A and B are shown apart, each in its own frame.
Chain A
């Protein structure tokens, strides 16, 4: 079956532009997570969605970052007025929900800000 799909796989943009990153989770997965992976920094939690509950946005680094999940499926992470420090790999994961349930990861979007 299809896994978690992220698009684009690579994105290069100029400083100050807005970018949208897309995540298609595994069908039926109620939980969806976004992480940022910078070189040597591990995975930084950004936000997660669980069903119809209010998302946990506690990891978003600034108000330039936002995310939405439409219809309980596809999610979009938006970064406004990009800065060079936003350059990283953005990973999306989905799961059936629950703290003990493993997450299934996409291959990520590599974002480069010039």
Chain B
């Protein structure tokens, strides 16, 4: 069965600092991996996704993530944090076999300090 673990329920960075949000997955088949962002009182929006093409995936708002099969990881990074990046971030995994069910991690709330 597939699962997702996000390390750190809260991450705090200073404006301009590197953002690193960690995600590890478990899947019995090659997975499809996603990062979504949720702003207060809103639904989730797609940041980026990995679908077995390039292992380094670039998304919106300067975010990127690297798929590392050997580490079963899909960490999200951004070189320089902006105040507007403060939100909750969810990593998700889905498998192409047996249906389209998507499993989400518990989320990491990002705080950006001025």
Q: Measuring CB to CB, which residues of chain A are less than 8 angstroms from any residue of chain B?
A: 4, 31, 33, 35, 40-43, 45, 48, 50, 56, 58-59, 91, 93, 95, 97-103, 105-108
Contact = CB atoms under 8 A, between A and B. Distances in A.
A108 B42 CA distance: 7
Nearest to A47: B101
Interface residues of B, number: 27
B43 A100 contact: no
B26 interface: no
A78 B49 CA distance: 32
Contact of A48 (B41, B42, B100): B100
Contacts of B46: 102-103
Given A42-B90, A43-B104, A48-B100, A100 B51 contact: yes
Contacts of A40: 9, 106
Contact of A4 (B43, B103, B106): B43
A66 to B, nearest CB: 18
Interface in B37-63: 41-46, 49, 51
Given A50-B100, A100-B32, 16 more contacts: A33-B102, A42-B104, A43-B92, A45-B102, A48-B99, A56-B101, A91-B43, A97-B100, A98-B96, A99-B95, A99-B102, A100-B51, A100-B94, A102-B49, A103-B44, A105-B44
